[in-house]
Amino acid sequence: MTSNNFQYQVEQFADLRILRYKIPGFDDLDLQKKLYIYYLSEAALAGRDIIWDQHNEYNLWLRDSLDTLYHSVDKADDEYTYLEIYYKRVLFSNGMHHHYSTDKLKPQFSTNKLKVWVDKLSVQQLEHLKCRSHTELFEKLEQLLFNEQEMAKRVCQDDDKDLILHSANNFYKNLTQNEAENFYNHLIDKNDAQPVSHGLNSRLIKHENEIKEEVWCIGGKYSEAIERIVHYLNKAAEVCENQQQQRVIKLLCDFYTNGDLKLFDDYSIEWLNEQSGEVDFINGFIEVYGDSLGFKATWESLVNITDKEETAKASVISANAQWFEDHSPVMNNHRKEQVSGVSMKVINAIMLGGDCYPASPLGINLPNAQWIREVHGSKSVSLNNISEAYEMASLTSGVIEEFACTKEEIELHKKYGALADHLHTHLHECVGHGSGKLEPGVRSDDLKAYGSVIEEARADLFGLYFMADEKMMELNLVPNMDVAKAQYNAYIRNGLMVQLARISKGSNIEQAHMRNRQLIAKWVLEHGQAEEVIKQHSRNNKTYYQINDYEKLRQLFGQLLREVQRIKSQGDYEAARSLVETYGVKVDKPLHEEVLNRYANLHVAPYSGFVNPKLEPVLDQQGNIMNVCVSYDEGFLEQMLRYNTEYHLEVNHKSRP
């Protein structure tokens, strides 16, 4: 797929489609800004091995083992293609578990073939992989790759299981869910009005009956990677755009130096206050979706630049944040009396790193600490060039034509689908996540494993409710209310059917965003059933859903938003558990099988991710950087293999099975 001869799609394999994104206007930036971007981008890539190790303690060893096999096996081998695809899937997922479902990836090559490949490796290759014999290496790989019961899920969300013992991530070691929750319950002071996010930047381990934290900082775990991140952040501080950016970087480096979570809060507040620079970045231990208990944050980074034209449009929403809060259908005592510090920017991604790579978010709202959001506000961004890449690559996918109920629905989507999706993202990130408040004594982590789903449902519902408000036309954000209809159609279609193509047959929904979308769609389907607000149709043995009453559907979104906000504001764990388990987890098996078959016939990969642009400094004879050039011709495996070499840190290579 091309636009002005730009190649958006790179390749497709397994259930993955690899895309690339363009950085508009990069060549026109001055040298200082290019240098600032370059150093921030190096810091974004320097922590790559952290996310691999966080996902599983054996991932880095496995990556080296697969890399060794990949470069050793004869390409004419009848199962070589299976090895290459498996290796690429592992590279995409930053480890041996699927990036979205978190199920362990299954190789298509056989154990017999694996043994043949291993037996041909040299002694030097065995030594590199810390193995004393071919048999030892084969047995370790066989256990990791083919034992389906061993480390089956990276993130277990099953309500009837110990979430730590059944999660294969590397956030906890030698302890149970109960022990971990008790450890942090003793640390948390519910009367603290400005609580730090305990556990955010550490691994919790039990050794000889003593439970302690391994902090991720210089001198602690991941020290070598963090030292390299700090080095490039300090270089960036020398060429940044303003003094506030310098202050932000210094606080982040101080936090990385000693791991003090109070410093992370200080950094987050100063990051919020930096609004004037054109270039911005995220770098750190931020999102807790990868931890079933919601304490541990995965490492991520994103370097971006403001899209001024689109930001001018989106800033209308942040400028009216108080209006949205005042007109929210939630309980009066769950609204903020005064909304402050809410900002909205549309940005273009420049470099994705850690948990933002290769699969990228479409929007971000930070910081996550609830007290900071309530006192200081939040910063919301929408990634315009990432959304554009998705749009350009999907124009001819056929998914809408396959799952939309009527021709009118298809036409409405083609006319307003992109605008509707952008607007919903803006509302979700800016005023959705930034809305509401907790009752006294309640903490955002009171909902435990269900907190992430409830928060995403809350933001989605906020956006859905206000999509269909006449305020959208008053603010000149939409030409007419058909935009809301297009988004309502898409949301129900995706929540009830299309997203099911992303999970394997027989599985439940595990990922927080998918649970949130099904929860909302199933809840409004059920609660509007008596009035047939949404009608299920069957045509040619295919299922379709048609919205009959958009206004009543909006009212249902508002009712559910009120309840979801109540659950969060009151920390009602049991209500959160009931809502998520009832509507968000279980899959209609016959419908799921139907969706899988229909989607398979389209030959479209259900998941997408990106290769980064390549930034290369141009040096003069003295070694000074005279320019930074951007190129877009790097392939997926080419980029991954380069990253393996340039950003591989031996200190993170200790764990092996």
pLDDT digits (tens, 9 = 90+) for 391-413: 887 767 899 999 999 999 999 99
Distance, CA of 324 to CA of 335 (rounded, Å): 10
Question: Do the beta carbons of residue 363 and residue 429 sit within 8 Å?
Answer: yes
Bigger pLDDT: 609 vs 343: 609
φ, ψ dihedrals at 185, nearest 5°:
-60, -35
Secondary structure element (H or E) that encloses residue 609, with its range: strand 607-611
Bond from prior residue into 358 cis (ω within 30 degrees of 0):
yes
Burial code of 162-173, b = ≥16 C-beta within 10 A, e = fewer?
ebbebbbbbbbe
Tell me how far apart the alpha carbons of residues 570 and 79 are, in angstroms, rounded to a whole number.
Answer: 55
Q: What is the pLDDT of residues 77-98, one digit of tens each?
A: 999 999 999 999 999 999 999 9
Q: Convert the pLDDT of each residue in 235-252 to its tens digit.
A: 999 999 999 999 999 999
The DSSP bridge pattern shows strands 6-7 and 2-3 to be antiparallel
Residue with tokens 């961004």: 381
CB atoms within 10 A of CB 238: 12
Cα 17 versus chain centre, distance: 16
Give the span between the Cα atoms of 648 and 171, in whole angstroms: 21
Is residue 180 predicted with pLDDT exceeding 70? yes
Q: What pTM, to 2 d.p., does this model score?
A: 0.83
Residue from 307, 389, 282 nearest 609 by CA = 389
Q: What is the DSSP letter of 423?
A: H
Query: Minimal CA–CA distance to 328: which of 466, 488, 427, 474?
Result: 466
Asked if the model's pLDDT at residue 657 lies above 60, the reply is no
DSSP-based three-state secondary structure for 303: strand
**Which pLDDT value is given to residue 147?**
96
Does 656 have pLDDT greater than 60?
no
pLDDT band, residue 639 (cuts 50/70/90)? very high
Average pLDDT, integer, range 188-211: 94
Q: What is the mean pLDDT of the chain?
A: 94
User: Residue 491: pLDDT above 60?
Assistant: yes
- Bridge partners for 654 per DSSP: none
Task: Report how far residue 194's alpha carbon sits from residue 358's, in angstroms, rounded to the nearest whole number.
Answer: 34
d(CA 529, CA 521): 12
Half-sphere exposure of 586 (CA within 13 A, CB side): 10
| Overall size of the chain counted in residues | 657
The pLDDT value given to residue 312: 84
pLDDT score recorded for residue 632: 97
pLDDT at 2: 45
Q: For position 363, what pLDDT does the model report?
A: 87
Which of 340-344, 418-422, 574-578 has the weakest average pLDDT?
Answer: 340-344
Which amino acid type is present at position 18? I
Question: Where residue 653 falls among pLDDT bands split at 50, 70, 90?
Answer: very low
What average pLDDT does this structure show over 308-323? 89
Q: Residues 434-478: pLDDT tens digits?
A: 899 999 999 888 998 899 999 999 999 999 999 999 999 999 999
Whether pLDDT at 537 is above 60? yes
Once rounded to an integer, what is the mean pLDDT over residues 121-143? Answer: 97
Sole residue written with tokens 């209609």: 588
pLDDT 10s digits, 38-68: 999 999 999 999 999 999 999 999 999 999 9
pLDDT (0 to 100) of residue 655: 45
Q: What is the pLDDT of residues 564-590, one digit of tens each?
A: 999 999 999 999 999 999 999 999 999
CA distance 606 to 399: 10
Given pLDDT bands bounded at 50, 70 and 90, which one contains residue 4?
A: low
Mean pLDDT of 340-361: 92
585 DSSP 8-state letter? I
Nearest to 242 by CA among 267, 217, 273: 273
For the chain, what percent of residues have pLDDT higher than 70? 98
Least-confidence region, from 22-26, 29-33, 312-316, 580-584 = 312-316
Answer whether residue 263 shows pLDDT above 60.
Answer: yes
